[in-house]
Chains A and B, each alone.
Chain A
């Protein structure tokens, strides 16, 4: 293969697909006339291009374009809807109904679980009482803290009523 062959092969793709610039046609043709190897290469590539081009053009099935335009108009219309309206419609569509239900259920459960795991705020009365408990009291009564909690849980309302009466 000569340097000229390499040059011509570069131009060949344009030749076999039909676009060699006019000023280069003569040079390429001259080389092909003299070089059987490049001639064979050109002929076989041209046959491939012709084979591909011989395939007919695809034609969409009857009625396709009417449906295509209708669908396109619908989608463009949808793009113009406000985001909130689009979201509501998306959520309400049967295709997404199950997904929406599952996501809602999971969200509700997650919120419920989060609420349950958060500890309630400490009772101010118990906090005040614990402040009065000394180390000596705890050593002689180890379950004093628990007693305070039990007392508060069972007697809180009545105690608060007494406190209220005293306040008056």
Chain B
């Protein structure tokens, strides 16, 4: 880390310092802290567990290599999300295909779905929503995932995507309108 960052939260700063002093276990602690968030972003972006798992591995490999150069001006998770989103955008570019949706019904942490019928309906709606998200252009999809699923503020999303906050908002607006049109065509109702 170049500057001991004002942007990094205290716990991360401590772990980063330990890692820089050669404590490999500090890196493991950081991975454990952020691995699920990284995986979820990749999973939403790519649509398949296997692809998301591969990207998550690559994110932490690159982070391990680049941490000594991390300047600490942003939060560590912003930096990790940036690596994740870039790898996902690249991944799609290389494979030039839409995200796989075959395991879209895979393990999800849903609560309060009482009957089998409701469950089936929720699954179908989930599948259609995931398909609509998958059809968004990659950058719109990334911003939608970061805002609606990861709950990141617009300012952080702008840092991750390397653009202005205004661009993120305008892109999100376009994405929501597109999603509304696609979901209306599919007959998906509000929850």
Contacts and interface: CB of A to CB of B under 8 A. Distances in A.
B64 A50 contact: no
Contact of A60 (B49, B111, B126): B49
Given A58-B107, A61-B49, A14 B154 contact: yes
B101 interface: no
Interface stretch (B1-9, B33-41, B73-81, B83-91): B33-41
Contacts of A10: 169-170, 173
Contacts of A44: 180
A72 B38 CA distance: 14
A17 B147 contact: yes
Query: Among the interface residues A19, A58, A79, which one has the most CB atoms of the partner chain B within 10 A?
Result: A58
Interface in B147-180: 147-149, 153-154, 169-170, 172-173, 176-177, 179-180
Interface stretch (A62-70, A85-93, A111-119): A62-70
B190 A17 contact: no
A50 B189 CA distance: 10
Contacts of A17: 147-148, 172
B53 A64 contact: yes
Contacts of A19: 153-154
A68 B38 CA distance: 13
B188 A51 contact: yes
B70 to A, nearest CB: 16
Contact of B57 (A45, A47, A48, A75): A75
Contact of B60 (A9, A51, A72): A72
A47 B190 CA distance: 5
A57 interface: yes
In which size bucket is the chain B interface?
A: 35 or more
A53 B151 CA distance: 10
Contacts of B100: none
B172 A56 contact: no
Contact of A13 (B61, B153, B172): B172
Contact of B148 (A14, A52, A76): A52
B180 A45 contact: yes
30 contacts: A10-B169, A10-B170, A14-B154, A16-B176, A17-B147, A45-B177, A48-B183, A49-B148, A51-B125, A52-B148, A52-B179, A56-B108, A56-B109, A57-B149, A58-B39, A58-B40, A58-B109, A59-B107, A59-B109, A60-B36, A60-B49, A60-B107, A65-B35, A68-B53, A68-B57, A69-B31, A72-B31, A72-B57, A76-B24, A76-B64
